[in-house]
Amino acid sequence: MTKKTQSSTPTDVASPWGDETAVTPEEILEVANTMAGVKPQVPKSTSNAEYDLEGLMTDFPTAKELERFVFDETGVVLNLKGRANKLKYQTAMDVLNGEDIDPKFIGSDNPYIDRTDMVPVEAMPPVPERDKELPPESELQNYFFSPFVPHPDPDYRAVGKKCHCTFRKYNNGVISYEINGPWEQKEHGTKIDKYGRERPEIIKWIGAATGEQMVQREDGTLTPVGRRLRTMMQSMRINAGNIWDTFVDRDFGQFNSEAIVDPWGTDTRV
């Protein structure tokens, strides 16, 4: 005698926790047909329209107060100073109500920061132009970087600070120098702020950027600065020589392998 078994479908399987009832295929089809006829809905706006122009104008009569309120409520930084009143308050209300605004009204500075309380920082000066009498950079023979040149600023030099200087020698014997830095901020003057505290009047950049300048001309003569730099570099000893002769004013033959192999320049294969 064969015992009949009843096949099961996923809808016949009850929950292992005993809290679900079986769902028939007819019920599943009915729900699917119902959902097929429902059109997708546009996401609802987060705008709450709780603010109005009159309320904002009454509570926040100045642009600064209005910017701070909007920043506190939304985290958005606005630039409303100098705008027409209606435009100013309408822009703030749009932000508060979650609407998009023109990017030109978006600011960058925290509205709680008062620039008059900050110490002004002078802009970094431009790097001087390269000496026009120097050969093209493509004719460079060798260069030497030294972080041990005394700083040009008298105050920094008095405390032993150094600058970063690059010496370059060209194929025609010209030697140049260029101070690359470092740059540091230095406080100048003093004034009393509105809280009665003493603070710097301005912060200036103190650097030593010179641009590339002449040290030794093609005929071997030195500029006034060049004479002092050469004397200083010659005073720095290394082994049996000095820094200037060993690394700055190096013999061209040390770098021109062609001259070593063929000093007459007749080897056309090279």
Residue 134 scores a pLDDT above 90: yes
| Largest separation between any pair of C-alpha atoms in the chain | 123
**pLDDT at position 217:** 92
Residue 216 near residue 249, CB atoms below 8 Å: yes
Task: Give the global pTM.
Answer: 0.51
CA angle 186, 190, 194 (to 5 degrees): 125
Domain boundaries, the chain: 53-113, 137-256
**pLDDT at position 44:** 36
**Cα–Cα nearest to 162, from 182, 178, 186, 185:** 182
Question: 111: part of which helix (H) or strand (E)?
Answer: none
How far, in Å, CA of 89 to CA of 52, rounded? Answer: 9
Confidence of residue 178 (pLDDT cuts 50, 70, 90): very high
pLDDT digits (tens, 9 = 90+) for 95-111: 888 788 878 778 777 77
Q: What percent of the chain has pLDDT over 70?
A: 73
Q: What are phi and psi of 200, to 5 degrees?
A: -65, 150
CA angle 152, 220, 142 (to 5 degrees): 70
Comparing 165 with 16, the larger pLDDT belongs to 165
pLDDT digits (tens, 9 = 90+) for 141-170: 888 999 888 888 888 888 888 889 999 999
Confidence of residue 28 (pLDDT cuts 50, 70, 90): low
**pLDDT at position 46:** 41
**pLDDT at position 267:** 61
pLDDT digits (tens, 9 = 90+) for 42-75: 333 344 457 777 778 878 888 888 888 888 888 8
Confidence of residue 14 (pLDDT cuts 50, 70, 90): very low
